[in-house]
């Protein structure tokens, strides 16, 4: 159970980072410069970004949320879908999925085997993008 809790904590932290990153790179209407200052973290240009939040259980990663404007949304991933494998290799844990996407370079097009919420299977091939950078 501790593994599930730590996985959820990691997924929540990563999701918060992804949302903040996504908002800052898209010109979020709520983003303002404070006292004329603008600070930016260096971009993480060499890591892949898919744009999902997920929970790993029962041998697959169940998608909990799909971020708008991401490769996951572009290929039609939805909450309730399960990621079973990447490039024909079974996903064995949440950390495995995270590592395999993060270790890929932007522009890489993995093939994801998906079990849809209705039980059908599908293969999708999103083109990964770079992790968005955070600006303040």
pLDDT tens string 45-58: 589 999 999 999 88
The answer to whether residue 136 is domain-embedded is: no
The answer to whether residue 72 is domain-embedded is: yes
Give the CATH number, domain containing residue 121: 2.30.42.10
pTM: 0.66
Burial class (CB in 10 A: 0-12, 13-18, 19+), 8: middle
Burial class (CB in 10 A: 0-12, 13-18, 19+), 35: exposed
pLDDT at 63 over 70: yes
Mean pLDDT of the chain: 78
| Residue 64, phi then psi, degrees to nearest 5 | -100, -35
**Beta strand 129-131 pairing with 121-124:** unpaired
Question: Which whole number is the average pLDDT over 131-135?
Answer: 77
Number of domains in the chain: 1
Confidence band of 5 (pLDDT split at 50, 70, 90): very low
The answer to whether residue 85 is domain-embedded is: yes
Domain with 45 in it: 2-131
């Amino acid at each position: 159970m501790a593994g599930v809790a730590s996985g959820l904590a990691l997924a929540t932290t990563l999701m918060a980072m992804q949302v903040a990153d996504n908002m800052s790179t898209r010109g979020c209407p709520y983003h303002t410069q404070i006292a004329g200052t603008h600070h930016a973290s260096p971009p993480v240009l060499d890591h892949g970004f898919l744009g999902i939040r997920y929970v790993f259980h029962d041998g697959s990663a169940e998608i909990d949320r799909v971020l708008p404007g991401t490769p996951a949304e572009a290929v039609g991933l939805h909450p309730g879908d399960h990621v079973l494998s990447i490039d024909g290799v079974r996903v064995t844990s949440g950390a495995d999925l995270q590592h395999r996407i993060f270790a890929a370079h932007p522009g890489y097009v993995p093939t994801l085997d998906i079990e849809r919420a209705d039980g059908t299977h599908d293969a999708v091939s999103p083109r990964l993008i770079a992790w968005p950078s955070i600006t303040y």
